[in-house]
Chains A and B, each alone.
Chain A
């Protein structure tokens, strides 16, 4: 790895937050991400917003989502595992 790895800037960080959460960043980009976060209160706030959003979204249930959206989704799975889709 280069000793002169380019620093991650805020505008780049917001594009890779999901990859960071999914642990799918390369080791190099993960390091750049974490190095940036340590020194940037604004990006720390951004990442925290995303975490809170994911937690809050997890509190929604299937009943909250309009039936129409659900039906579209289920239509996309027609033929896929019934047991899984009904859990």
Chain B
């Protein structure tokens, strides 16, 4: 059995939270500023059954370690310390995993709610 900590390896591949092409490049007057900015989401839409289904599916497709952390933190409501203790990983590592998980799920949700701008999902 692979130890959980091995699955939680943090920085093997570049995995930006938002696709790089959503931002202006180094030659622009404002490198790193939004080129294709996010738009506000209608709050009432977020709790619709279909929207929750999109979130659920995105969570299910996450790499295992990311999925475990987002389940514990955002569904079960565990604290960062409880998660890192339980999984035997550092506080920083659980946060990286949570961040990647949330960023991917956000991208999936954006692709659903704002299909016109979410072409370049990470």
Contacts and interface: CB of A to CB of B under 8 A. Distances in A.
Mostly helix, strand, loop or mixed at chain B's interface? helix
Contacts of B80: 22, 24
Interface in A52-76: 52-62, 64-66, 69, 72-73, 76
Most B-side CB within 10 Å, residue of A46, A59, A84: A46
Instruction: Sort chain B's interface into a size bin.
Output: 35 or more
Interface in A39-59: 42-43, 45-46, 48-50, 52-59
Interface of A: 9-12, 14-15, 17-19, 22, 24, 42-43, 45-46, 48-50, 52-62, 64-66, 69, 72-73, 76-77, 80, 84
Given A11-B33, A48-B40, 7 more contacts: A17-B17, A45-B40, A49-B109, A49-B110, A69-B67, A73-B68, A76-B68
